[in-house]
Structure 1
């Protein structure tokens, strides 16, 4: 697995389209590396992830349809537990449980971590599992002190691959906290 993200994302059909559109040679170089890359989080990825106050997570349900959900909390609610594992407390929300339900039958996730003010994006593929009170020690590592939301469960994600993305079409946006600085 030379490039974690490319190995997953660049299917034979995607490669054919890249070839047709003239970008295949550049992406082939990305895949042709002697040691695996973008499968273990380094300091740059860990710092970026832990500075986020939200993310977008996609799961796939039993019908085959993808579902994208925004997950938010205070900065740092997403924890990098080690170079291959992320986790976050799953706060009580609208109680539809679509992502949690999808993860019962398909553990694959795709996550976008966005930094709108600096026009940066980290894309990540992984496999997720839901944990509950039976894993109290890990769940305690995911809790966010002084945040009023109720934690219903934790979600752990084993990183399969990731890639930083071009800022070309990321529109700058600023949260109230960003604007106050």
Structure 2
């Protein structure tokens, strides 16, 4: 494996476009410092801190389908350095992603950290697992999870890569905003209390 993600992503058609645009030479002998087919502690920490991600599947007709998945931080479980899993809940009952997985297990995930302008992209093989098919897996994945999932989606890593922060517009969650503004709210509350005391003191002197 030369670089992992590019070994998967750069198909003959992609390589042809690279040649036409004069950039193929950049990638021909590109070798990463390490293989990107196993998560390190760095990726595990990042994945465990996400409260959402995007997953792309493909149908037997070749059409891609991108779906957003969200939950509490850590709902996407890191089982080991090559395996992820998450609880799959009932949505609009279309079951497009699950249907696609029944004919094509290849998926691509995008994990975003808008706050720090960071994104992790993952190629994996996905499998829908019934809740009673693997009780040990279900126990791990469902720990701390609310609601009633219909199944578990297990992801076996093929390759991953980190994207550069260019063009990622910083965004902040409600929790992040509240945490940032908390000192200001405390200060405003203290000033309001002091102002009320001063008004009472002034009124008493009249």
TM-score normalised according to structure 1 size: 0.92
Q: Give the aligned partner of residue 83 of structure 2.
A: 85
1:136 aligns with 2:135: yes
Q: What is the aligned counterpart of 2:106 among 93, 100, 108?
A: 108
Q: Give the aligned partner of residue 62 of structure 1.
A: 60
Q: Give the aligned partner of residue 37 of structure 2.
A: 39
Q: Which has the higher strand share?
A: 1
1:15 aligns with 2:15: yes
**How far did 1:18 drift?**
1.9
**How far did 1:28 drift?**
2.7
In structure 2, stretches of 5+ residues that fail to align are 180-206
CA distance in 2 between counterparts of 1:91 and 1:178 reads 26
Specify which structure has the bigger relative contact order, considering alpha-carbon pairs within 8 angstroms and separated by 6 or more residues: 1
CA distance in 2 between counterparts of 1:150 and 1:25 reads 51
RMSD of Structure 2 on Structure 1 (CA): 1.6
List 4+ stretches of structure 1 deviating above 3 A.
none
Asked if structure 2 preserves the Cα contact closer than 8 Å seen for 1:92 and 1:149, the reply is no
Asked if structure 2 preserves the Cα contact closer than 8 Å seen for 1:51 and 1:76, the reply is yes
TM-score normalised according to structure 2 size: 0.81
Report Cα offsets for 1:97-154 as digits up to 9, x if no partner. Answer: 1111110110000000000111101111010001112212101111142x43221110
CA distance in 1 between counterparts of 2:25 and 2:59 reads 34
CA distance in 2 between counterparts of 1:110 and 1:65 reads 14
In structure 1, stretches of 5+ residues that fail to align are none
Q: Which has the higher helix share?
A: 2
Q: Give the aligned partner of residue 195 of structure 2.
A: none
Q: Give the aligned partner of residue 155 of structure 2.
A: 157
